[in-house]
Chains A and B, each alone.
Chain A
């Protein structure tokens, strides 16, 4: 990781006929890369900083998670609305065949964007994506889990410095409350599309993805079991699968170096 981090700028993109404005964080230089974040909100992490060295990284904040517009989520009626909003947003940003990277919930969205609009991405990277359902290995609904039990479901390396930093709450009571409120609300906003299940018929559309796909999974994923990797790989025609050892669900936080190397290798 570079010692001085690049500056982040913001751009507001209006979509859905003016109903919704998406706040996009942008950093780095180079070819475009769009990163769709996980259900609990967005924060820059070592993988993303690493990607800014070669790419201009665009991170749309999930509707409702931008601090100034928490009710933006109310403008999205259903999953189809959401997919269309993201496609419009990428178009409005003028990005040509960006690399599309999605983690967890963002992976489900990235996969469905690529399935709906096969010409949109240049390549796709899915980090433990949701979107499929196996009765024998039900995806854990993190929204219904006691908060104190959630870290052990999301991470394998709970004692790593990065994971500890991510989980650390501010000590100032007011900041701590603000952080908890923002986190709960972020889960509530993405939760609009995870009840009753984070599954919106993706299996019936996955065959439409024609660009190369990298699928990365943690072997110790306790939210969506690693056996889901096979389900994706069986349907996606050009799919490279990397299963990381000693790694849980939030892959790039649990195994940042391995994740970087895996992505570098695929994107080279």
Chain B
């Protein structure tokens, strides 16, 4: 199993009564920020990722969130660029995985193709490229994209990025959402095609798209994987089976918030307050209506969600969630190395997860504790998980060759992504 380090870049010093005073973490007045503490939050975030790189994690993961206090990463490629160079300097053979640039919101898809290509060259072929569709409020309020166009824009932008990487000749792009008289980017990725990953929240259409295009599928367990895992992963594997594809666990990535200490009691004592900060002042402070802005979810999806809202897990209770509730829902897995390893092993085996993305810094957790969490996980938890799937003969097709993968090198044509939801039905 591949084990990666995931971190977001929260501002770690929001006031304790933030949830009472502010409606959301997506329009937080910047006046709350002490610039020195913003520097410290950002510096710690980068330092901690480098601790992970030196501790043997297989890749470093970051996400993109514009205008938000819970993950101050408007462009993850800037962070990835710093990590790419720093890890080259130190000779650390670790994947660089922005999860990544949001193609549903971007007005500059060629820029995205260029940034990723440059990252792949800078890192010597270690880029693992994520292409999320985007969060409702970020696509619409922060970027002015009509929600009903996000999916069509995503698909068109993705086609453009893949062609910009691979077409040997300059070409014009007269798209519905962007138009370029010439596309001929320099550099191109070092890898024939960097491994591609899409993050989904349970929509079968997104899952199917990853199969049609031969991408990896990531699922984030923020809303409590003990509640949602048995819904999401069987749904995915059923689609894999229906597509006649092998049940290769390396297709799937799973992101989990993890808190390790010497004993279960010590983990609770050490992490409770900071885990509550992370969820109450993070996901819990993104109001539901800003994630579900009308038009972003197709009417068929709306019907499914209203009939059975189980995929949202405990998201709606997150704003006031206690540490105990977070642990019970599986939003956080906490405890001694034995406790944590046992739970993660069982979960990943049950759901055929071949890539575990360990979120080991979260919320207000001070940098010393983040480092200890990273190191203890690397020393005492990761070794117990690594052997999972090594007894199978599945190859990792969604991982760079330089890092031991055997990646897909052709750009698979989308087989079934065109349907009547597709914005490109417009002539």
Q: A residues bordering B, Cβ < 8 Å?
A: 19, 70-71, 73-77, 141, 143-147, 177, 180-181, 184-189, 191-196
Contacts and interface: CB of A to CB of B under 8 A. Distances in A.
B243 interface: no
Contacts of B292: 184
A177 B146 contact: no
B148 A75 contact: no
Contacts of A77: 176, 426-427
B426 A74 contact: yes
B299 interface: yes
B144 A196 contact: yes
B295 interface: yes
B293 A177 contact: no
B145 A70 contact: no
Interface in B298-343: 299, 302-303, 306-307
Contact of A70 (B137, B146, B299, B427): B299
B422 A74 contact: yes
A144 B421 contact: no
A61 B19 CA distance: 41
Given A144-B137, A144-B290, A192-B146, 6 more contacts: A74-B420, A74-B422, A144-B293, A188-B148, A188-B296, A192-B149
A64 to B, nearest CB: 8
A73 B290 CA distance: 22
A187 B148 CA distance: 10
Contacts of B297: 184, 188
A180 B295 CA distance: 13
B294 interface: yes
B269 interface: no
A144 B141 contact: yes
Contacts of A143: 140, 147, 293-295
A193 B144 CA distance: 11
Chain B binding surface, main DSSP class = loop
A73 B147 CA distance: 13
A76 B425 CA distance: 10
B426 A195 contact: no
Contact of B294 (A19, A146, A185, A193): A185
Q: Sorted from nearest, which 5 A-B pairs have the closest CB atoms?
A: A188-B295, A196-B144, A187-B294, A188-B294, A195-B146
Contacts of A180: 306
Contact of B287 (A74, A146, A181, A196): A146
B423 interface: yes
13 contacts: A19-B427, A71-B420, A74-B421, A74-B422, A75-B425, A143-B295, A145-B289, A146-B287, A177-B306, A181-B303, A185-B299, A186-B294, A188-B147
**Quick one: which of B147, B294, B296, B427 has the most chain A CB within 10 A?**
B294
Contacts, number: 80
Contacts of B422: 74
A220 to B, nearest CB: 23
A164 B423 CA distance: 37
Interface in B132-191: 137, 140-141, 144-149, 176
B23 to A, nearest CB: 8
B289 A191 contact: no
Interface of B: 137, 140-141, 144-149, 176, 287, 289-290, 292-297, 299, 302-303, 306-307, 420-423, 425-427
Contacts of B294: 143, 184-188, 191
A144 B140 contact: yes
B419 to A, nearest CB: 9
Contact of B146 (A144, A146, A185, A191): A191
A17 to B, nearest CB: 9
Contacts of A76: 426
B148 A191 contact: yes
Contacts of B176: 77
A196 B149 CA distance: 12
Contacts of A188: 147-148, 294-297, 299
Contacts of A194: 146
Contacts of A177: 303, 306-307
Nearest to A141: B141
**Quick one: which of B141, B290, B302, B303 has the most chain A CB within 10 A?**
B302
A189 B295 contact: yes
A191 B146 CA distance: 6
B302 A184 contact: yes
Contacts of A189: 148, 295
Contacts of A191: 146-148, 293-295
A187 B295 contact: yes
A146 B26 CA distance: 14
A129 to B, nearest CB: 20
B281 to A, nearest CB: 19
Nearest to B306: A177
Nearest to B422: A74
B25 to A, nearest CB: 15
Contact of A74 (B290, B296, B302, B423): B423
Contacts of A196: 144
A71 B303 CA distance: 14
B397 to A, nearest CB: 34
